[in-house]
């Protein structure tokens, strides 16, 4: 389950309802999904999409999303650092950013137009929906692994626009939860 921190206010939320409620005040949707039938985190993309088809269709109807895919990123992914460098600086999109985490973890930072920057560590079972225009940045955790369903309104229009505010550099890209190194218990 996600952990939400307000670093500069020394406040942590680890309850799903409290997290959803806080994020709702920023127009960010947070949900936890359970599959319609058991599915392995490393099952084929087709099987994963099928297991969550009900939730995906609900969200598509709500937000006008037209496609869903599964993205896989891990330490062995060619060009990983270049890929991460695109997203770990503060940016926004003219599309919603919708991610449902199937496996692994990641750290979103969001800078609301008013109020403190929030840090949200997400893991398997977490859905995050950042509306278009939301200032945010994203890092992987130390295990550098994430698998997620993405939904798009128009995949060809999804590009990062950088704010160049420099705020991202004042936050540590370090996850909060216990470290899981693949292959280690
Ligand atoms: Fe983004």
Ligand 1 center to 97 CA (angstroms): 6
pLDDT confidence of residue 101: 98
| Measured distance CA(7)–CA(153) in Å, rounded | 32
Q: What is the pLDDT of residue 41?
A: 92
Query: Looking at the chain, which runs of residues are DSSP E strands?
Result: 3-6, 11-13, 29-32, 67-74, 91-92, 97-111, 118-123, 126-130, 135-140, 145-152, 161-162
What distance in angstroms lies between residue 95's CA and the mean position of ligand 1's atoms?
A: 9
| Predicted local distance difference test score (pLDDT) of residue 185 | 44
The rounded Å distance from CA 15 to ligand 1 centre is: 24
Quick one: which of 152, 146, 29, 175 has its CA closest to 84?
146
Ligand 1: centre distance to CA 101 (Å): 15
Percent of the chain at pLDDT > 70 equals 96
pLDDT surpasses 80 at 155:
no
Determine contact, residues 117/111, Cβ cutoff 8 Å.
yes
Give me ligand 1 centre to Cα 133, in Å.
10
Predicted confidence (pLDDT) at residue 181 exceeds the cutoff of 70: no
Q: Which residue has the tokens 């995906």?
A: 56
pTM: 0.93
Q: Which residue would you say has higher pLDDT here, 180 or 106? A: 106
pLDDT at 183 over 60: no
Average pLDDT over residues 27-47: 96
CA distance linking residue 118 with residue 43, whole number of Å: 32
H/E stretch holding 56: helix 53-63
Taking residues 110-133, report their average pLDDT.
96
Residues 46-81: pLDDT tens digits? Answer: 999 999 999 999 999 999 999 999 999 999 999 999
Tell me how far the alpha carbon of residue 52 lies from the centroid of ligand 1, in angstroms.
22
Strand pairing class (67-74; 91-92): unpaired
For ligand 1, the distance from its centroid to the CA atom of residue 160, given in whole angstroms, is: 6
């Amino acid at each position: 389950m996600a952990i939400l921190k307000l670093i500069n206010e020394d406040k942590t939320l680890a309850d799903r309802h409290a997290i959803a409620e806080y994020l709702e005040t920023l127009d960010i949707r947070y949900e936890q999904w359970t599959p319609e039938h058991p599915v392995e985190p490393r099952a084929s993309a087709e099987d994963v999409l099928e297991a969550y088809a009900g939730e995906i269709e609900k969200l598509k109807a709500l937000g006008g999303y037209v496609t869903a895919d599964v993205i896989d990123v891990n330490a062995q992914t060619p060009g990983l650092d270049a890929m991460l460098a695109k997203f770990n600086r503060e940016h926004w999109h003219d599309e919603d950013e919708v991610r449902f985490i199937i496996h692994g973890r990641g750290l979103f930072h969001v800078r609301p137009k008013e109020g403190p920057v929030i840090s949200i560590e997400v893991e398997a079972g977490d859905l995050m929906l950042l509306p278009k225009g939301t200032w945010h940045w994203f890092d992987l955790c130390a295990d550098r692994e994430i698998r997620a369903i993405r939904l798009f309104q128009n995949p060809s229009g999804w590009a990062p626009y950088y704010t160049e505010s420099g705020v991202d550099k004042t936050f540590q890209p370090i996850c909060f939860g216990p470290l899981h190194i693949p292959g280690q218990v």
